[in-house]
Chains A and B, each alone.
Chain A
Amino acid sequence: MNTLPLYIDPGSGSYLVQVIIAGVLGVAFYFKAVWARIRLFFGKKKPEKIEPGREHD
């Protein structure tokens, strides 16, 4: 049987894409948290949300 040392193509540029996306998501997450604090300060609670795809687990 022939074996390939690297059988998965790591995807050119995939590393950089993930670094950029993770960075963008980090910034979005930070602002979401700040926004949630502001809402909480004014007495507004975040509505409870059922996570899609987990309802039947």
Chain B
Amino acid sequence: MINTFLHPASFRDPAGFIFKQDGKFYRQVNQCYAGAFDHFTGSGLYAALAAQQKIVTHQRLQDNITGAEEAYCTLLPEQLGTISYPYEWCFSQWKAAALLTIDLATTAMAYGMMLKDATPFNIQFTGCRPILIDTLSFELYDQSKPWIAYHQFLTCFLSPLVLAASGSPELLRLFQLYPEGVPLQLTARLLPLKNRLRIPVIMHILLPSWMAASAGSSGQNRNLPAFSAGKMKRLLTNLRDVVSNLTLPGQKGMEQLL
């Protein structure tokens, strides 16, 4: 394989990976993701997100560039000019990325899919617009299951945003120390008391951190009631409202002036 390099940040998802060849980035989709990928493109989800400029566009190639047996197809994504990292973002970029993530999950639901991971590393900015760069972030939606990326959304998006909105915008940089997500217990400890008493914080930060501390991993095997699409919609709508209402101290006054 001459001039072909696996991207060091693309190693987790067995569905595929990014590689670079002759100065261009490509994405290989593996056989294990073939069904989900066909649904993603065939259902119209990709077209809808591309039309809304919420996802990086791609061109599907006929060649198997890596020659790997597990390759299903190879994509040539739109090549992005500037790459930024979440710990370089300002508050409004974090907020825009979080809202995009929720919107992606909501749109995916309408097409029978669900966003399977919620990390800011999957978001980039083209101009001032956030877009999803991980084309393989969607899985087939099982209505009986809750959002698999919920906990990741809380630690990777909500925790930094809530800490910044509580009066410490510099704590957005905490994500540099915790790139897998700021632990909810830590967020709860760092929040001032008046912020801890807010209902969204109790629901999405304190309750999950208490339950993780008390239940451990035993929660996985319990006979729990099935989830539903209605519950999922309510959860996503609530998360959107919570994120939308977060502002930096003093920001509300400035918005009124503009």
Q: Is this pair of chains taken from one and the same complex?
A: yes
- Chain A positions within 8 Å of B, measured between CB atoms, are 1-5, 7-26, 29, 51-53
In contact, A8 and B116 (Cβ under 8 angstroms): yes
In contact, A16 and B217 (Cβ under 8 angstroms): no
In contact, B235 and A21 (Cβ under 8 angstroms): yes
Of A3, A15, A53, the contact of B224 (CB 8 Å cutoff): A15
In contact, B203 and A18 (Cβ under 8 angstroms): no
Given A1-B6, A4-B12, A7-B13, CB of A18 within 8 Å of CB of B235: yes
B residues within 8 A CB of A17?
A: 150, 207-208, 211
Smallest Cβ distance from A33 to chain B, in angstroms? 12
B residues within 8 A CB of A10?
A: 148, 151, 220
A residues within 8 A CB of B240?
A: 53
In contact, B216 and A24 (Cβ under 8 angstroms): no
In contact, B151 and A21 (Cβ under 8 angstroms): no
In contact, A18 and B227 (Cβ under 8 angstroms): yes
**B67 lies within 8 A of chain A by Cβ:** no
The docked-state distance in angstroms from the alpha carbon of A8 to that of B232 is 19
Give 20 A-B contacts (CB < 8 Å), ordered by A residue. A1-B6, A8-B116, A10-B220, A12-B212, A12-B220, A13-B208, A13-B215, A14-B212, A15-B146, A16-B211, A17-B211, A18-B150, A19-B231, A20-B207, A21-B203, A21-B235, A22-B227, A24-B203, A25-B238, A52-B245
Of B152, B219, B244, the contact of A13 (CB 8 Å cutoff): B219
The docked-state distance in angstroms from the alpha carbon of A15 to that of B221 is 10
**B125 lies within 8 A of chain A by Cβ:** no
**B196 lies within 8 A of chain A by Cβ:** no
Interface size on B, residues (CB 8 A): 45
A residues within 8 A CB of B207?
A: 17, 20-21
Interface string of B214-230 (1 = CB under 8 A from A): 11111110101101001
Which residue of chain A lies nearest to B208 when distances are taken between CB atoms in the complex? A17
Smallest Cβ distance from A17 to chain B, in angstroms? 5
In contact, A18 and B147 (Cβ under 8 angstroms): yes
Smallest Cβ distance from A44 to chain B, in angstroms? 22
B183-238 at interface with A (beta carbon < 8 Å) = 203-204, 207-208, 211-212, 214-220, 222, 224-225, 227, 230-232, 234-235, 238
**B178 lies within 8 A of chain A by Cβ:** no
**B47 lies within 8 A of chain A by Cβ:** no
The docked-state distance in angstroms from the alpha carbon of A19 to that of B225 is 8
Other A-B contacts than A7-B12, A16-B222, 15 sampled, CB-CB below 8 A, are: A7-B13, A10-B220, A11-B212, A14-B146, A14-B150, A14-B212, A15-B146, A16-B215, A17-B207, A18-B150, A19-B225, A22-B146, A22-B232, A29-B234, A53-B99
